[in-house]
């Protein structure tokens, strides 16, 4: 294990102006934990973009190494759960927000936050999925628990070109669902249909103020957008349907009425990926091994190096990223 290594460090001055610095770090710069992991792969999620651009109040402790996901190899452990050489992955638990995160060659983490790399998965593929894809799987599982089967009718996916949206489409399609993809980039229709979408609608159909109830168009939904979009998805969900909420790209507000809930029995299912318990995490990752087509995952992911993280963070906030970004961390280690 190297004494000094590359990392990205977010700092803030007395005026609370933020700086993004590529710098050298040591283990003393990382926060407490009983496992040290060599970070071999990471990713850029929307939340990572908010942290690096400062466009959202993601970081709550300074200075901070951002990066909420990692996959790599244990290099030292004080935990009976893991030993040096074990392959592990991490999503959430405040890493990159209140605990130093994945955008460095090494991460010191708490063993309770880690899961063993599932059989049939490797680090690159795990980070091509990342928190966004893992959240998509949690959303699909929630719809299943609510009884939303393919026979019930279509499922709408908002923010369809994003990380959650692309993985949700691919998983739902493989499971036999008819998928309606909502996107602001209609030029990506062929890409989305290649992932398994049956129909493409423009996000403008959902993004403005709408009626308390609309025509019943789908049995379920996976929403990563929030605000008017989520309100309209709910208003157009059929009797007894369900919609999962896991994002806020349009906003944190929900300008909806109670009409879908009390007149159609629609359910709104909240999805939390950050603090989800170990058993649920392991189930979701096990499902991703078998329910996400590797060829479709390759189609929706592209690779950058450590030096591409900051640029990708800005691009994801500007809506210029299609699918998933997987980061090869060799540049930080060498």
Encode pLDDT of 28-68 as tens digits: 999 999 999 999 999 999 999 999 999 999 999 999 999 99
| Tokens matching residue 45 | 């999620």
**What are residue 222's DSSP bridge partners?**
157, 244
SS3 of residue 267 by DSSP: strand
Instruction: Give the whole-angstrom CA distance, residue 101 versus residue 171.
Output: 28
Strands 237-245 and 218-223: parallel
Confidence at residue 334, expressed as pLDDT on a 0 to 100 scale:
58
Q: What is the pLDDT of residues 103-142, one digit of tens each?
A: 999 999 999 999 999 999 999 999 999 999 999 999 999 9
> What's the average model confidence in pLDDT over 169-185?
97
SS3 of residue 276 by DSSP: coil
Q: What is the pLDDT of residues 132-175, one digit of tens each?
A: 999 999 999 999 999 999 999 999 999 999 999 999 999 999 99
SS3 of residue 224 by DSSP: coil
Closest CA to 103 of 56, 69, 53, 60: 69
First to last CA, the chain: 11
> What's the average model confidence in pLDDT over 90-103?
97
Q: What DSSP string describes 6-64?
A: EEEEEEE-TT--EEEEEEEE-GGGS---SEEEEEEEEE--HHHHHHHHTSSS---SSSB
Closest CA to 320 of 144, 185, 170: 185
Instruction: Give the whole-angstrom CA distance, residue 287 versus residue 232.
Output: 30
Contacts of 256 (CB under 8 A, 6+ apart): 212, 230, 231, 234, 235
Confidence at residue 190, expressed as pLDDT on a 0 to 100 scale:
96
pTM to 2 decimals?
0.93
> What's the average model confidence in pLDDT over 282-295?
96
Confidence at residue 331, expressed as pLDDT on a 0 to 100 scale:
80
Region of 114 please: left (phi>0), alpha (psi -120 to 50) or beta.
Answer: beta
Confidence at residue 24, expressed as pLDDT on a 0 to 100 scale:
95
Contacts of 334 (CB under 8 A, 6+ apart): none
Confidence at residue 332, expressed as pLDDT on a 0 to 100 scale:
81
Instruction: Give the whole-angstrom CA distance, residue 29 versus residue 244.
Output: 38
Instruction: Give the whole-angstrom CA distance, residue 88 versus residue 105.
Output: 15
Place of tokens 């369900």: 242
Residue 227: pLDDT band by 50, 70, 90 thresholds?
A: very high
Residue 254: pLDDT band by 50, 70, 90 thresholds?
A: very high
Q: What is the pLDDT of residues 201-225, one digit of tens each?
A: 999 999 999 999 999 999 999 999 9
Q: What DSSP string describes 171-216?
A: HHHHTT--EEEEES-GGGHHHHHHHT-SEEEETHHHHS---SS---
Computed over every residue of the chain, the mean pLDDT equals: 96
> What's the average model confidence in pLDDT over 248-277?
96
Give all domains of the chain, ordered by start, each with its CATH number: 5-117+294-333 (3.90.180.10), 131-270 (3.40.50.720)
Residue 93: pLDDT band by 50, 70, 90 thresholds?
A: very high
């Amino acid at each position: 294990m190297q004494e000094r290594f590359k990392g990205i460090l977010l700092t803030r001055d007395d005026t609370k102006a933020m700086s993004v610095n590529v710098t050298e770090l040591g283990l003393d710069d990382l926060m407490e934990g009983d496992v040290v992991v060599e970070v071999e792969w990471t990713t850029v999620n929307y939340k990572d973009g908010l942290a690096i651009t400062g466009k959202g109040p993601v970081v709550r402790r300074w200075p901070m190494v951002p990066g909420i996901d990692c996959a790599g190899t244990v290099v030292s452990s004080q935990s009976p759960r893991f030993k040096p050489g074990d392959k592990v992955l991490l999503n959430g638990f405040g890493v990159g927000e209140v605990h130093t995160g994945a955008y460095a060659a090494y991460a010191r983490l708490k063993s309770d936050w880690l899961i063993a790399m599932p059989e049939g998965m490797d680090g690159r593929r795990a980070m091509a999925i990342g928190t966004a894809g893992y959240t998509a799987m949690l959303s699909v599982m929630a719809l299943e628990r609510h009884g939303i089967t393919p026979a019930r009718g279509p499922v709408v996916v908002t923010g369809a070109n994003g990380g959650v949206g692309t993985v949700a489409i691919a998983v739902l399609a493989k499971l036999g669902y008819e998928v309606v993809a909502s996107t602001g980039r209609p030029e990506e229709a062929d890409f989305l249909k290649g992932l398994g979408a049956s129909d493409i609608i423009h996000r403008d159909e959902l993004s403005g103020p709408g009626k308390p109830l609309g025509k019943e168009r789908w049995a379920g939904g996976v929403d990563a957008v929030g605000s008017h979009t989520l309100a309209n998805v709910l208003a157009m969900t059929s009797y007894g349907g369900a919609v999962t909420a896991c994002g806020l790209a349009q906003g944190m507000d929900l300008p909806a009425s109670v009409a879908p809930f009390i007149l159609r029995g629609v359910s709104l299912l909240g999805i939390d990926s950050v603090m989800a318990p170990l058993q649920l995490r392991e189930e979701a990752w096990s499902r991703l091994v078998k329910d996400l087509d590797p060829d479709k995952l390759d189609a929706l992911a592209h690779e950058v190096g450590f030096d591409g993280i900051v640029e990708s963070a800005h691009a994801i906030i500007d809506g210029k990223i299609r699918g998933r970004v997987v980061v090869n961390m060799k540049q930080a280690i060498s």
